[in-house]
Structure 1
Amino acid sequence: MPQLPPITKALMLACVAMFCAQLLFGPWIEGLLALWPLASGHFLPWQLLSYAFLHGDMLHLFFNMLGLWMFGSEIEMIWGRKRYIHYLIASALAGAVIQQIFVLVVPAGGPTLGASGALYGLLLAFGMMFPDRTIMPLFPPIPMKAKVFVAVFGAIELVSGLTGRSGVAHFAHLGGMLGGWLMIRYWRGQPPFPPRARRR
């Protein structure tokens, strides 16, 4: 079981605190901070990040915080606080942007909320950093290598997003993975970004 480093701990506490605020002031909090479609008339710029701190129910919160702890803790300890925060912001922003594009094509009236976009970005980073590490997901409880786990869950999100409207923001999840992948490519100086000068 990983330790709980400071940024991961702070994010978990912030999400729990916001969930308590939702229980007390649900409609007002969600109207202000959830990610509303552009066409709804309720969209505000800060929602591109604030939506990640809200959750739909206790189960939603529990699984996202479990994933943040399991995958984010080790990544934070390796990358350090600054790079870890930048990565999470990139994943959450990309998840919000891709979801907004999707709901422009397939209109939806409700808001998007949850840390899943950032979490899927962390899953991608974990799979890239530790591709051959064996992990045991809760669903299904079958041991698999991290790279296989990421590929399977990415494929499930894509198929689910294209074939049905379950109320889950599948394209926010995929957007989080895309944002994380682009951030890692940027740090490495790999296409579509120009090579980065090496420090001497």
Structure 2
Amino acid sequence: MPKLTDAIKHLIIINVIMYFAPQLLNLDLTNIFALHYPTNEHFGVWQYITHMFMHGGPAHLLFNMYALWAFGTPLEQMWGRNKFLFFYFSAGIGAGLIYTLVNYYQFNGIYEQLISMGVSSSEIQNILSSGQYNESLITLSNQTMSEFYSLYHTPAVGASGAIYGVLVAFGLMFPNAKLALIFFPVPIAAKYFIPLMIAGDFFFGVTKYSIGNIAHFAHIGGAIIGFIIAWYWKKNQFKFR
């Protein structure tokens, strides 16, 4: 088992505290720390960092922290603590920004459709506040209106965006390392396995087949930022401390 390096150890500790402490104290920190849509009343710029330390459940936390330890450890050993932390937070913040941009595009597409139907801005805000609308005036499907409401109100939580950046960097630095999933226990080289995971996220992100409330484009955003940084560092031999 790889040694638990400093940065990863402290990241795991903070994530565990941020998950269990609010439950023990009966506090809900979602409105403060989870990443909200920019025009939502609960949005704060700091959430691009804090959402990385919030998780939706114990399994979500466990899988992210395991991936951080398993794939981040060799990267921190290679780059050193400071470079790894820069990489990790860059991927996580980048994931949040790209996730927001995709949500903004989707939200405004529906918003413009409502405006073209003659629905005023104040009426749209009432729909977002109450979740209720006049079906005889608005011809959009219930699924579209539900998505519109969800985009505005559902916050993003988790370190998954940063973890995807770590996964991509691991694949670039150790392309022939063999990886497998619990539900697909066939070892595949990282250079093939990780692109397949990202392709899966893209597929589920642009279709309606996604299972559960998963921020697929945050994963893709973290992967993109992680790839850019790791590729640049590898190209310029920026590997060591």
User: TM-score, normalised to structure 1's length?
Assistant: 0.89
- Structure 1 residue matching 2:36: 3-state secondary structure: coil
> How do 1:113-192 residues align onto structure 2 when only pairs under 5 Å count?
113-164=157-208, 166-187=212-233
Deviation at 1:150, TM superposition (A): 0.5
State the 1:168 CA deviation: 0.5
Aligned pairs for 1:85-124 within 5 A: 85-107=85-107, 108=151, 109-124=153-168
SS in 1 for 2:199: helix
Matched with 1:81 is 81
Checking the alignment, whether the CA contact within 8 Å between 2:172 and 2:230 is kept in structure 1 is no
CA distance in 1, matches of 2:73, 2:27: 29
Tell me the secondary structure at the aligned position of residue 42 of structure 2. Answer: coil
Q: Which moved more, 1:143-152 or 1:132-141?
A: 132-141
Matched, 1:61 2:61: yes
Between 1:102-111 and 1:117-126, the stretch displaced more is 102-111
In structure 1, list runs of 5 or more residues that go unmatched: 191-195
Q: Which amino acid aligns with 1:128?
A: L
Gaps of 5+ in 2: 108-150
CA shift digits 1:34-77 (9 cap, x unpaired):
10011212111110111000000001001001101100111111
Greater mean alpha carbon deviation, residues 178-187 or residues 103-112: 178-187
Output the CA distance in 1 between the equivalents of 2:54 and 2:227.
24
**Shift of residue 136, structure 1, vs aligned partner:** 2.6
Question: Structure 2 CA distance, aligned partners of 1:52 and 1:99?
Answer: 13
Query: Is 1:35–2:79 an aligned residue pair?
Result: no
Q: CA RMSD in A?
A: 1.7
Q: Which amino acid aligns with 1:122?
A: V
Deviates more, 1:49-58 or 1:127-136: 127-136
Say if 1:124 and 1:177, in contact at 8 Å, map to a contact too: yes
Provide TM-score, normalisation by structure 2.
Answer: 0.75
Bigger drift between 38-47 and 88-97 goes to 38-47
> Alignment partner of 1:142: what SS?
strand
Q: Is the 8 A contact 2:172 2:231 kept in 1?
A: no
Which of structures 1 and 2 has the larger relative contact order (alpha carbons within 8 angstroms, sep 6+)?
A: 2
Percent identity reads 35
